[in-house]
Amino acid sequence: MTFQASDILVAGGGIGGLSAGLALALKGASVRVMERSDHLSEVGAGVQIGPNATRILHGWGLASELAQVAVMPTQLQARDVRTGHVLGTLPLGERSERLYGAPYACIHRADLHALLLAAALRQGVDLQPGQGWSSMTTQGDVVAVRSDQGRSWQARLLVGADGLWSRTRSELGLHDAPRFSGHLAYRALVPQEALPAHLRTNQVTVWMGPRVHVVHYPVQAGRALNLVAIVHGSLPAQAHIWDAMAQPASLFQALGPVAAELRERLEAMHGWRLWALHDREPLSSPAQMANAHVALLGDAAHPLRPYLAQGAGMAIEDANALAQAWVGSGSVPERLQRYAQVRWQRNARVQARAIRNGEIFHAQGPVAWGRNAAMRLLGARVMDVSWLYAGP
């Protein structure tokens, strides 16, 4: 059995794994990324990246590349699903730059992935597609990993960036399965030029209603509109597939009556995809993020509900924190403990806030009335998340 050594082995070549590879390589580490899929690419649609994450991307030297493919929206607007009334507005754009030192960005997942992939390659990260890992043993200060294709590598650290259904979690003694949230996300993407002029937009809009909400925003440098509609429902047969085909009739039935402008926008979308939303309980200790020679990041450690738009952001923050811990003093386990201590409470807070936001977005009765009144009276003061955007 022939071993090929590197400092760090990353399991997973998605946004989290490439962020980790890039951040660690920028600190001088030798990094190899294993990806089970034969092709290093990303599916899905759009993601929102708050200034907490774009600030890190800028720090990695990616500001110009990000500006070429992302949209920096002018504002975030909240509206009522049923009436269409504007509930509140949060200015973004210049305000985000002034308060938080970085823009709020909307970007297609594939564009973000491609940006990170190109940067990782420039930094010498060794990418190994078609190589999921099948076994791991620890030999002193070295981790020996064997791929399911029969190849073997040694490293000082294994990073689990293998997503919601991570198998690297088991190396930390974590065997809990993801839990179904009871929410279903229907996603669609359409060229803005295919929409009537009054439906084209340069802002993020969130529509809130009883047991439903819809969010849409521009991606692909403004050329396309990304839309996600989330409803309550039962677990579909394709629960493990995050990009399954969907029938719009089932979405419209779950949504019920909606404002005319929203319905027109929904009817203009096509190619609907379905995603059953899963998560886990918020982290309760640093041991759920790292131990000995294994670290987790992103969804492998703390899958998030999408109601704070921080799934990609927390993975990017994790990667940056791991790289900073790596160049510190001490043994690998000591460095990983610093990483876990820095990250677990912030991630837990974001997980809990995302769950709470979902309850607020989907509220009914007096809670919904209170939400709407607060937004009308206080606007940006209740919609901003300064503790999040100013961190970590």
**4 has pLDDT over 50:** no
Q: pLDDT, tens digit, for every residue of 117-145?
A: 999 999 999 999 988 888 888 888 899 89
C-alpha to C-alpha distance for 240 and 165, rounded to whole angstroms: 9
Longest dimension (CA), the chain: 67
Residue 114, phi then psi, degrees to nearest 5 = -65, -40
pLDDT score recorded for residue 163: 94
Task: Indicate if 217 belongs to the active site.
Answer: yes
- pLDDT band, residue 310 (cuts 50/70/90): very high
pLDDT score recorded for residue 3: 37
Q: At 339, which helix (H) or strand (E)?
A: helix 332-361
C-alpha to C-alpha distance for 251 and 232, rounded to whole angstroms: 10
Identical fold for domains 3-73+104-177+281-358 and 179-279+360-384, yes or no, is: no
Note whether 220 and 193 are within 8 A (CB).
no
pLDDT score recorded for residue 139: 83
**242 has pLDDT over 70:** no
Average pLDDT estimate for 252-262:
94
CB-based burial label for 152 (10 Å; 0-12, 13-18, 19+):
middle
- pLDDT band, residue 378 (cuts 50/70/90): confident
Average pLDDT, the chain: 92
What's the whole-model pTM score? Answer: 0.95
Average pLDDT estimate for 112-121:
97
> What is 179-279+360-384's CATH topology?
D-Amino Acid Oxidase; Chain A, domain 2 (3.30.9)
**237 has pLDDT over 90:** no
Q: pLDDT, tens digit, for every residue of 315-328?
A: 999 999 999 999 98
Residue 141, phi then psi, degrees to nearest 5 = -95, 15
In the block, which residue shows the tokens 């929102």?
48
Note whether 55 and 32 are within 8 A (CB).
no
Q: pLDDT, tens digit, for every residue of 194-215?
A: 999 999 999 999 999 999 999 9
In the block, which residue shows the tokens 């500001």?
63
Average pLDDT estimate for 377-386:
87
> What is 3-73+104-177+281-358's CATH topology?
FAD/NAD(P)-binding domain (3.50.50)
Q: Secondary structure of the chain: what % helix, strand, coil (to 5)?
A: 40, 30, 30
C-alpha to C-alpha distance for 35 and 290, rounded to whole angstroms: 20
Q: Which of 113, 118, 96, 85 is nearest to 13 (CA)?
A: 113
CB-based burial label for 158 (10 Å; 0-12, 13-18, 19+):
buried
Pick the catalytic residue from 100, 104, 186, 217: 217
pLDDT score recorded for residue 106: 98
* Cα within 13 Å of Cα(369), Cβ side: 2
- pLDDT band, residue 392 (cuts 50/70/90): confident
Residue 369, helix vs strand vs coil: helix
| Chain-centroid distance, C-alpha 121 | 22
Q: pLDDT, tens digit, for every residue of 36-95?
A: 887 765 566 899 999 999 999 999 999 999 999 999 999 999 999 999 999 999 999 999
Note whether 111 and 70 are within 8 A (CB).
yes
**364 has pLDDT over 50:** yes
User: Domain map of the chain by residue range?
Assistant: 3-73+104-177+281-358, 179-279+360-384
pLDDT score recorded for residue 48: 97
